[in-house]
Structure 1
Amino acid sequence: MNAKLKVTIFLILSITSVLCFTIVASLIRGRWIAQVDSSVISAIQGMESPWLTSVMKGFTFIGSTPVVIVISVTCLLLFFKFLNHRLELILFVALVAGTAILNQLLKISFQRERPSLHRLIQESGYSFPSGHSMVVFALYAALAFLLWRHVPTRRGRTAVILISIMMILLIGISRIYLGVHYPSDVVGAYFASGFWFTFSVWIFQWYMENRFKRTSPTGN
C-alpha cells in the first residue's frame, strides 16, 4: 500500500473514532442508551454459570493493570532484543501509557457511576469509559500493528489479528458480564482508544514517511 495512502487512512480513522466516541458520550445520559444497555446486560448476564464466571474473571484479570504492565514490559524487552527498532518501542509506550492517561481524564470528565444491579466482582472508580477495554484495545492493537510489520507469512499475520480482536472483545464482554460496566462504557472505550491508536500511528507513519524522504538519495 502506498505510504501516503496509509497516512491518510489512519487520519480518517482517527477522525471517525472521535466522532463515534462523541456520539456515544452524548447519549450516555439518555433513556434510549439506558434501554439498550439494559437489554445487552440482560442478554449477557442471562448466560451466567459457574464455569463461565470463572472464564470471565480470568479475562478481566488479563486486562487488569498489573498484568497489562507485565505484558507491556515483556513485549518491550522482546522487541528491543529481536527487532531493535527504537521508534517502534516509543510508539508502543505512547500507545499504552497514553491510553491509560486518556482514560483517567475521560472518567473524571464524565463521572458516570457504575451499574449496581448484579455485580459479580467489586470495582471502584467511575464507569465511562471502561479502563480495561481502553487499555487492552491499545495493547493488543499496538502488538498487532508492530508484529504485522515483521511477521513474514499471511497466515501468521492473520493469526496475530484474530488473536488481538478476540482478546479485545472478550475482555470487554467480561466487564459487562461481571456487572462492573455498561455496554456503552465498553463501546465508548473502544472508540476512545481507537482514536488514540489511529492518531498515534498516523503521526508515526507521517514521521517515517518524511524521514525516508529526507534520507533518500532522490529526496529534496
Structure 2
Amino acid sequence: MSLKIQLSRAFVISLICVIGFGAIALMIGDNAIAEFDRSVAAFIQGLESPPLTQVMIFFTNIGAGWPVVAIAIAIMAFLYIVLRHRKELLLFVAVVAGSTLLNEILKHVFQRARPVVHRIVEANGFSFPSGHSMAAFSLYGVASFLLWRHIPTAFGRVILILISVAMIALIGISRIYLGVHYPSDVLGGFLASGAWLAAAIWFYQRYQEKSS
C-alpha cells in the first residue's frame, strides 16, 4: 500500500471518528441517547456475579494509573532498546500523553455527571468521555500500529490485534459494568481516541514522507 493511500486512510478515519464523537455529544446534550444508555447498561449490569465483578475490577484497575504507566514504559523500552526506533517512540509518547490531555479538556467542556445507579466502585470527576476508554484505545492502538510491521507472520499479527481489541473492549465494558460510566461515555472515549490516534499517525507518516 502506497504512503499516499495510508495518509488518506488515516485522515478519513480521523474525520469519521470526529463526526461520530460530535454526534454522540449532541445526542447527550439533547438527552436523545438516554434509552441507548439504559438498554446497554441494563444488559451488561444484568450479567453481574461475584466472579465477574472481580474480573471487571481487575480490568478497570489496569486501565488507568500506575498499571498504564508500567505497560507504557515496557512498550517504550522495547521500542527503544530492542527495535531502536526513536521516531516511533516519540509517536507513542505523543499519542498516550496527548490522549490524557485531550480527555481532561473534553471532560471539562462537557461536564457530564457520572451515573448514580448501580455503582459498584467509586469514581470522581466528570463522566464524558471515559478516561479509561480513551487511555486503553490510545495505548493499545498505537502499540499495535508500531509493533505490526515488526511481526513477520500473519498469525502473529492476528494475535496482536486480538489482544489489543480484547484489552480495549474489556476495559471499556468494565466501566459500564461497575456503574461509573454510561455506555455513551465509553463509545465517545473510543471515538475521541480513534480521532486523535488517526490524526497522530497521519502527521507521523507525513513527517516520514518528508524526511525520506
Per the normalisation by structure 2, the TM-score is 0.98
Partner SS state of residue 113, structure 1? coil
Is 1:141 aligned to residue 144 of structure 2?
no
Residue ranges of structure 2 left out of the alignment (5+ in a row): none
In structure 2, C-alpha distance between the alignment counterparts of 1:93 and 1:149, rounded to whole Å: 18
For 2:190, the equivalent position in structure 1 comes to 190
Alignment of 1:57-136 (within 5 A): 57-136=57-136
* Letter in structure 2 aligned against 1:18: V
What is the SS of the residue equivalent to 2:33? Answer: helix
The CA deviation at 1:30 is 2.9
Unaligned runs of 5+ in 1: 213-220
* 1:42 to partner: Cα distance: 0.7
CA distance in 1 between counterparts of 2:210 and 2:9 reads 17
What TM-score results when the alignment is normalised by the length of structure 1? 0.95
Q: What is the CA-CA distance between 1:149 and the residue it aligns to?
A: 1.3
| Largest Rg, 1 or 2 | 1
Q: What is the aligned partner in structure 2 of residue 38 from structure 1?
A: 38
Q: Which residue of 1 aligns with 2:207?
A: 207
Name the CA distance, whole Å, in 2 between partners of 1:13 and 1:78.
28
Count of residues in correspondence between the two structures: 212
The answer as to 2:65 corresponding to 1:56 is no
What is the root-mean-square deviation of aligned Cα atoms in Å? 0.7
CA distance in 2: counterparts of 1:83 and 1:7, whole angstroms: 24
The runs of 4+ residues in structure 1 deviating greater than 3 Å are none
Identity of matched residues, %: 50
Q: In the TM superposition, what is the alpha-carbon distance from 1:65 to its structure 2 partner?
A: 1.6
Counterpart secondary structure, 1:31? coil
Determine whether 1:157 maps to 2:157. Answer: yes
- Equivalent-residue separation in structure 1 for 2:197 and 2:71 (angstroms): 18
Q: Specify the SS of the correspondent of 1:32.
A: coil
